[in-house]
Chains A and B, each alone.
Chain A
Amino acid sequence: MAYKDLTNEDISADTGVVTSGIWQDGASSINTFFSSSTQYTNTGDYNIDVYRYDPSANASASVQFGVVYGHREGSGSLGTKGATGDRTTAAIFGQFNQLINPPETTNFTFQGNTTAKQFYAITLNRARMREAIEPGGWELHLSSSIGKIKLVDDFSTNNGGNTFARNFAPEYNVVSGSLIGGTTIDTAASAETPSAIGSYGTFYPALGMILLNPEKLGTATLNLPHSTGSNSDDRNNRKLFDAIVDGGYFQMRRKEEISSLHYFIRATSGRFNATTNETFYTQSIAGTKQVIPAMSTEPKTYITTVGLYNNANELIAIAKLSKPILKSKSREALIKVKLDF
């Protein structure tokens, strides 16, 4: 009989967390940032797709993340209520507000600033992110003509995340700091001053989203300007994109939970010492099989493949060994087969 039943002792399950570089080619940090002129011309008033490689020169360049700016009243974009124009910043604000904030919320909260009506957002490409961004694993540098800041999240001191009631948890604060040599945070989000302007932003690892507070980025150190003209195509998202380009550093890792089943395949000494492999036998003129002379006195077999079956004898999974392993009456084989989901 070719099958051997698996018992409960032969099967174990576990879940492991795998982290890896999020950017194209598996890099965990990138220094160059490009946009596509075609995309920017067509939909750049909504979002800017950001690439690691120049899409006009590298056919394999893929979108890494998007940059947007949202404003509750639609400031910084064309159109007003009752007038033509897509009011793109209002559309972005409503989109993110509906997704992240509870019903009947009309403002974003950045610590002491509970009435924020505008934000920048960095949204990671889903395929790059896979499942989530690793909290405490990213660092973004922004630079302007005035100065430069390094942003991280406060996972290291705020493990459980903020307790503000949002639609997604955990939520971490974006703070000024660095991951180099261990996480250092310059100032806790709750201690940022002036309190009315609030913190640098919030971070949602499960959404792959970093919200940044334009009012805070517009203060000392960076002084990143933003415009809130009425019925005016100000392209504030371009201002953040330029600050990312000039900052020249974005480090990030993604995090995935991999559930694995382990099957311990035990080929005991007394079993699997023969085979139906045609080359194991000679065939006489009469068509009767005989074991080839080399194997007739002390039969040996080689295991190359493990097949896992259900009760209906359907082949459900296959594991191939890298090299054949010897099996005989004096040798047992223990093969651990790992099946990931």
Chain B
Amino acid sequence: MGFLDNSSITVDAILTKRGRQILANGGDLGITKFALSDEEVDYTLYDVTHPNGTDSYGAVIENMSLLEATPSRTTFRSFLVDTPVSGMTLNVGSLDLGVLGKNEPISINPETVGGLTEQYEFTIENTNVVRFNGGLSTTRTASSVQLNTQSINIRAATTITVKGLSSGLVKVINLTVEADPGSGIDPLGPLNDGGAGMANSGQSAGNPYG
């Protein structure tokens, strides 16, 4: 007689740089929710012609080894959601804003084409390079945002990730900021968000910043 498998999967988590920053400042991690991602999975490898039958359709995906977690992540490339985003596209304008100078304004007005109007979560990878107007946080929830490039002493690139809060659709915008010889800010130095990241919790919908 065999025994039923009553085990759950146990995995170790690592803190992100933001998590470490909160701990270092003596704060509470305040973890209240989770999201699941299927990063690294290529669904085109799901093979419905596999000779071993339906159980083996996903063998190529299920047998792969995944990469380790890295602490510098601020978001994921894809998320598991409840409803397929068929027919929907997230339009954020240009995905490459090119090379910009210091203190240049950036406006991002996302639109979920084919879906309901929704709020978006904007995440800046490096707030030394670009910041939201009127705030130092790395993440902001709004229907649109205004940002400004920063004065930095060496040329640096960063990303702004836009995620539809209802659809889960994700787009990543790239930009580079030119060096400002008069600046003393190292873009690769510690992120300065002033602990303000938590302050945007619970911002009301439909209240664009900047």
Chain A positions within 8 Å of B, measured between CB atoms, are 1-6, 11, 261, 263-265, 267, 270-281, 287-295, 299-327, 333-341
Contacts and interface: CB of A to CB of B under 8 A. Distances in A.
B11 A340 contact: no
B89 interface: yes
B86 A290 contact: yes
Interface stretch (B95-103, B137-145, B177-185): B137-145
Main secondary structure of the interface of B (DSSP, over half): loop
B74 to A, nearest CB: 6
Given A275-B79, A336-B8, A300 B38 contact: no
27 contacts: A5-B32, A261-B31, A267-B36, A275-B43, A279-B42, A281-B84, A281-B85, A289-B85, A292-B43, A300-B46, A307-B37, A312-B199, A312-B201, A313-B139, A314-B139, A314-B198, A316-B16, A316-B19, A317-B29, A318-B16, A319-B13, A323-B64, A323-B65, A334-B9, A336-B9, A338-B11, A338-B13
Nearest to A289: B86
Given A288-B89, A311-B198, A320-B66, A305 B76 contact: yes
A274 B16 contact: no
Interface string B32-51: 11111111111110111000
Contacts of B188: none
Contacts of A334: 8-9
Contacts of B38: 275, 277, 301-305, 324
Interface in B50-72: 57-58, 61-71
Nearest to A287: B89
A142 B166 CA distance: 70
A189 to B, nearest CB: 42
Among A288, A290, A295, A309, find the residue whose CB has the most chain B CB atoms closer than 10 A. Answer: A309
B205 to A, nearest CB: 13
Given A312-B199, A315-B74, A337-B11, 8 more contacts: A263-B34, A276-B78, A306-B37, A314-B138, A317-B14, A323-B63, A326-B62, A333-B9
A265 B35 CA distance: 9
B135 to A, nearest CB: 11
Given A289-B87, A327-B80, A321 B11 contact: yes
B82 A335 contact: no
Contacts of B198: 310-312, 314
B13 A308 contact: yes
Contact of A270 (B62, B63, B82, B86): B82
A292 B86 CA distance: 10
B186 interface: no
Contacts of B48: 293-294
Given A276-B169, A288-B114, A305 B137 contact: no
Nearest to A316: B19
Contacts of A273: 80, 82
A222 B187 CA distance: 63
Interface string B2-35: 0000001111111110110011000001111111
B141 A313 contact: yes
B46 A338 contact: no
Given A2-B163, A300-B46, A305 B37 contact: yes
A55 B53 CA distance: 61
Contact of B85 (A274, A279, A287): A274
A322 B89 contact: no
A319 B48 CA distance: 30
Contacts of A315: 16, 18-19, 73-75
Contacts of B39: 277, 304-305
Contacts of B18: 314-316
A276 B11 contact: no
Contact of B167 (A264, A276, A292, A338): A276
A332 to B, nearest CB: 11
B79 A2 contact: yes
B31 A308 contact: yes
Given A278-B78, A305-B36, A309-B34, A316 B9 contact: no
A295 B141 CA distance: 32
Nearest to A286: B89
Nearest to B11: A319
Contact of B81 (A1, A302, A316): A1
Nearest to A278: B78
Given A3-B34, A276-B81, A295-B46, A325 B9 contact: yes
A276 B80 CA distance: 7
Contacts of B170: 276
